[in-house]
Structure 1
Amino acid sequence: MSKLSILAAKTSFKLLSLVGRGGSMPGTIALKVDPDSLSKLRFRGPVILVTGTNGKTSTANMISSLFEKAGRKVVSNRKGDNLKAGITSALLQNTKSDGTVDADVVVLEVDELNVRHILPFIPVSVLVVNNFFRDQLDRAREMEQLIESIENVLPDFKGTLVLNGNDPNTVRLALKAPDVSAMYFGLGRTPYSFTQSKEASEGKFCPRCNTKLEYEYYQYSHIGKFHCPGCGFETPEFDVQLNQIDLNRQTFDYKGHRFQGPYEGMYSMYNYAAVLTVLEKYNLPLSAFEKMLKDAPHPAGRNERFKKENKEVVLNLVKNPTGANEVMKVIERDGTKKAIVIVLNDHEQDGTDVSWIYDTQFEKFMNPQTAAVICSGTRAGDMALRMYYGNFQSDLSVESSIERAVNKALEKSDTVYVVATYTALLPSRKAIMKELNV
């Protein structure tokens, strides 16, 4: 291992910290010094990668906390720097001079397109895949191309795949990995399941024979119980299945125990199931999972709540139609009076193609309980037009200032939902904190 690259990463991290910066820069510098930095690292425990379109940040953070509650020392990229430079930065900052990462367990969130740059170069024990949905077409390309980029590095993988068994797009990965063991998580039929789907869906055809898949039920999008009438490709038997799902109370059953999660939405149940599958893989106690839930990490902008006196603002990241639709369902379940701020940007990190807003069911909150919708961001006009086409009947306006948009929403209602794209998330969070003075 190049001691120079380790020193470069640690030194740059300290210097950048002094000026309140950091992120992936130390990793970028280290890779300039030694492009093979990752492949030269040594690990004394399991390495777990978490990827997928939606939920990877929450899932990776929960897995990290799970191991910590079980008494293990964990290194992870909790701040979400999930590209190669950010991952290199997180590892080298915690690496000894002999090249050994100082951790019992390493948990890394990895951007889907970057799996091919990470998996072949470090000794990955487990690859967790939550789901695959259409997302940022200008950057991630068609979903089929994205999945193939991961499939191409799986033939030599000899670890364990932890896959969402209700998503045919993740289940198919096991077909390309002859030397792996696979574990599957999922949900059976729930009170929220439905037999006909009108949501944006990508899992329509069998990856083995290209026959149209048939579904017994859907949970959301193309997530559900499926089978191929042509070749028999189907939802596998689950190693971990959650039962008695109650989305209003955010509770579920597993192995005779009742748990309450900190996050809302059906997609959160799948995140919990993924974490429990890792727990089963490493024979960790359920008590560690329960402790993790009670002190769960709450990634910024993932159903993040800000309260002051009688005012409450809920902030959510949206970036694609499937994830946005799940946020819409959360808002829909709130039957109280509310105002909504939508901040739509089209910078490179957001995705310059914003056509996905027409596959998002914003109509779910278009009812008398929604007093106002305020649109902001670089594509605020496009968002307002989407509201108009959705036949929103109440107060609709455009505000160039996010702070003014939040302020206006708080004037309209004591309960406000703010949904924002990537580059709008931090400015929205700052605006909320400023307006509530928290």
Structure 2
Amino acid sequence: MSILSVLSAKASSALLSLAGRGGSMPGSIALKLDPDSLKKLKFRGPVILVTGTNGKTSTANMISSLFEAAGKTVVTNRKGDNLKAGITSALLKAAKLNGTIDADAVVLEVDELNIRHVLPVLPVSALVVTNFFRDQLDRAREMEQLIESIEGVLPPFEGTLILNGNDPNTLRLQLKAPKSPTVSFGLEENRYSSKDTTEASEGKFCPVCAHRLEYDYYQYSHIGKFHCPNCGFQTPELDVSLEDIDLDHQTFKYDGVRYKGPYEGMYSMYNYAAVLAVAKKFGLPAEAFRKMLANAPHPAGRNEKFRQGEREVILNLIKNPTGANEVMKVIEKDPRRKAVVIVLNDREQDGTDVSWIYDTRFEKFMNKQTQCVICSGLRYGDMALRMDYGGYTGELLMEPSVESAVAQALEKADTVYVAATYTALLPSRAAIEKEIAK
């Protein structure tokens, strides 16, 4: 192990910390000094990678907290620097000078496109995949190309695949990993399941024979119980399956025990199932899972709530049709009078193609409870046009300033939902904190 690369990462991390900053710069420097820095690290516990289109941040954070609740020491990139350089920063900062990571477990959120760079250079014990949806076409390309980039590094992989068994796009990875055992997770049919779907669905065709898949039921988008009538590719008998889902009370049953989760939405239930699959794989006790749920962190912008007196603002990240549709369901379900702020940016991290807003069902919150919709961000005009095309007849405002948009929304209603794209998330959060403190 290059001591210089470890020292450089630690020193630059310390300097950035003094400046109140973090980020991937220490990893970039270390990789310049020694491109094989990750390969040379030594681990004494399992290395778990978490990836997928939606839910990887929340799931990785919960898995980290799960191990901690079980009394384990964990190294993780909880701040979300999920590219190779950011992952290198997190690991080298925690490493001894000889390259040893002295932790009981390493849990890393990894960007989908970076799996091909990270998986081959670390001794990965388990790869957790939450789901695959169409996302940021200008960066991630078509979903098929993204999945193929991951499939390309799976043939020699000998760790465990922990896969969403209700997602054919995720489940197909096992076909390219002959040396890997699979643990599948998912949800049983419940009161929210439907026999058909009008949402954007990418899992229409069998990855084995290209025949159209048939579904017994859908949970959301293309997630559900499926089978191919031609070759037999299908939802497996799930190793971890949640039952008796109650989204109103955020509860579910697993292995005969009822749990209450801290997050809303059907997609959160899948994140819990993924965490339970990790607990099953690594023999962590049910009490650790319960303790984790009771103290689960709220990642910034993932149904994050800000309160002062009667006023409440709920902030959510939106970045693609499927994830955004789940946020729309949460807004729709809230019976209170509300204002909605949508902050749409089109910078590189957001995806410069904003056509996905036409596949998102913003119509779900277009009801009498929604007092006002304020469109903000760099593409506020596009968002306002989408609201108009959707038939919204309430008060519709355009405000390029996020601070002004949040302030106006709180004048309209005590309950405000803010939905923001990646680069709009932190400015929206800052604007909310400023206004809610007044």
TM-score by length of 2: 0.99
Q: CA–CA distance in 2 between the matches of 1:77 and 1:121?
A: 17
Counterpart in 2 of 1:86? 86
1:76-129 per-position Cα deviation (integer Å, ceiling 9, x unaligned): 000000000000000000000111012110000000000000000000000000
CA deviation after TM superposition for structure 1 residue 186, in Å:
0.5
CA deviation after TM superposition for structure 1 residue 336, in Å:
1.4
Counterpart in 2 of 1:49? 49
SS at match of 1:326: helix
User: Which letter does structure 1 place at the counterpart of 2:77?
Assistant: N
User: Which letter does structure 1 place at the counterpart of 2:111?
Assistant: D
Q: CA–CA distance in 2 between the matches of 1:21 and 1:305?
A: 24
Counterpart in 1 of 2:201? 201
User: Which letter does structure 1 place at the counterpart of 2:184?
Assistant: Y
Q: Are 1:131 and 2:131 an aligned pair?
A: yes
Q: Are 1:122 and 2:117 an aligned pair?
A: no
Counterpart in 2 of 1:264? 264
Counterpart in 2 of 1:309? 309
Counterpart in 2 of 1:8? 8
1:286-318 per-position Cα deviation (integer Å, ceiling 9, x unaligned): 000000000001100000000001100000000
SS at match of 2:312: strand
CA deviation after TM superposition for structure 1 residue 255, in Å:
1.3
Structure 2 unaligned spans of 5+: none
Counterpart in 2 of 1:374? 374
SS at match of 1:209: coil
Q: CA–CA distance in 2 between the matches of 1:32 and 1:21?
A: 21
Q: Are 1:175 and 2:145 an aligned pair?
A: no
1:118-146 per-position Cα deviation (integer Å, ceiling 9, x unaligned): 00000000000000000000000000000
1:240-282 per-position Cα deviation (integer Å, ceiling 9, x unaligned): 0001100000000111211100000000000000000000011
Counterpart in 2 of 1:98? 98
Residue correspondences, number: 438
Counterpart in 2 of 1:361? 361
Counterpart in 1 of 2:223? 223
SS at match of 2:39: helix
* Runs of 4 or more above 6 Å deviation: none
1:319-343 per-position Cα deviation (integer Å, ceiling 9, x unaligned): 0000000000000101111000000
Counterpart in 1 of 2:192? 192
Counterpart in 2 of 1:418? 418
C-alpha RMSD of the superposition:
0.6
CA deviation after TM superposition for structure 1 residue 70, in Å:
0.4
Q: CA–CA distance in 2 between the matches of 1:232 and 1:254?
A: 28
Q: Which has the higher mean CA deviation after the structures are superposed, 124-133 or 15-24?
A: 15-24
Counterpart in 2 of 1:22? 22
Counterpart in 1 of 2:61? 61
% identical aligned pairs = 73
CA deviation after TM superposition for structure 1 residue 15, in Å:
1.1
Counterpart in 1 of 2:436? 436
SS at match of 2:94: coil
Structure 1 unaligned spans of 5+: none
Counterpart in 1 of 2:282? 282
TM-score by length of 1: 0.99
User: Which letter does structure 2 place at the counterpart of 1:14?
Assistant: A
